[in-house]
Amino acid sequence: MGWAATLAGMAPTRILLLGGTSEGRQLARDLVGLPGVELTSSLAGRVRSPEQLPGEVRIGGFGGVNGLMAHLFAEKVDLVIDATHPFAAEMTHNAAKACSITGVPLVRVDRPAWQPLPGDTWHEVDTLAEAARTADRIGTRLFVTTGRQEASEFAGVKAWCLMRSVEAPEPPLPAHHEILLAKGPFVVPEEVALMRDRRIDCLVTKNSGGGATIAKMSAARELGIPVVLVSRPPLPPGLLTVPDPEAAVDWVARRLVR
């Protein structure tokens, strides 16, 4: 980066990185140790054993908008990068409001959503409750990959469910289910084999986007399996977004050299 030398000797810019995603991990690696930057990565603490990150790391929530505002003031934060999960709507909305009130510049790393391709059969819904009802209507053996914390939304389905998550889902759970603990990235041949082995006839997931878990979408397309897809929650109006960590680093660089 040709602009990095310009930063030497400048007062450090304090950046709060709201992470917990692959984008957040990449940004931590790209930004920590950069001349002129003091980086703190903030993780929600929902995963019991998060990956080690370079630089300073804080675990846990802020206590809503007011708590985040207090943190921005107390830590003299200059920039905020929201690299949380596309479905971490509450954190994104809190960050947008807190930064708007305090005047701290904010950018959201918003990875592109998956788009349907020829051969896809998608049933797009807005909520997990609707996803459970829809999947139970069209399938008898469901592959549910919506996350451990919201598995209880499927407790009432009649279908058999293969429930995959990084950590064990929290009850209540469907009457007939299997728990599979695994973490991406996944590959298409293995996803195809898994769906065939479990005789899956409906995939249920969120439109998280990204490459780490897209293999299941390709596998469903290859096998002709319908997908019940939960649409992303809307972003706050006027929120500045970039599509990837590289663009977020460029956004930081432009502010460091002003």
Domain spans in the chain, listed from the N-terminal domain onward: 4-112+234-256, 122-230
With the CA atoms of 187, 189, 194 and 197 taken in that order, what torsion angle do they form, in degrees rounded to the nearest 10? 180
Tokens, residue 71: 């943190």
The answer to whether 4-112+234-256 and 122-230 have equal CATH topology is yes
In whole angstroms, what is the distance from residue 228 CA to residue 142 CA?
Answer: 10
pLDDT class of 52 with cuts at 50, 70, 90: confident
What is the dotted CATH code of the domain comprising 4-112+234-256?
3.40.50.20
In whole angstroms, what is the distance from residue 147 CA to residue 122 CA?
Answer: 19
pLDDT class of 35 with cuts at 50, 70, 90: confident
Fold of the CATH domain 122-230: Rossmann fold (3.40.50)
Indicate whether 1 pLDDT > 50. no
DSSP structural state of residue 179: E
Model confidence pTM above 0.85: yes
Identify whether the C-beta of residue 196 lies closer than 8 Å to the C-beta of residue 174. no
Indicate whether 180 pLDDT > 90. yes
- Give tens-digit pLDDT for 116-174: 999 999 999 999 999 999 999 999 999 999 999 889 999 999 999 999 999 999 899 99
Q: Which residues have C-beta within 8 Å of that of residue 192, sequence separation ≥ 6?
A: 219, 222, 223
pLDDT class of 3 with cuts at 50, 70, 90: very low
With the CA atoms of 39, 89, 247 and 240 taken in that order, what torsion angle do they form, in degrees rounded to the nearest 10? -100
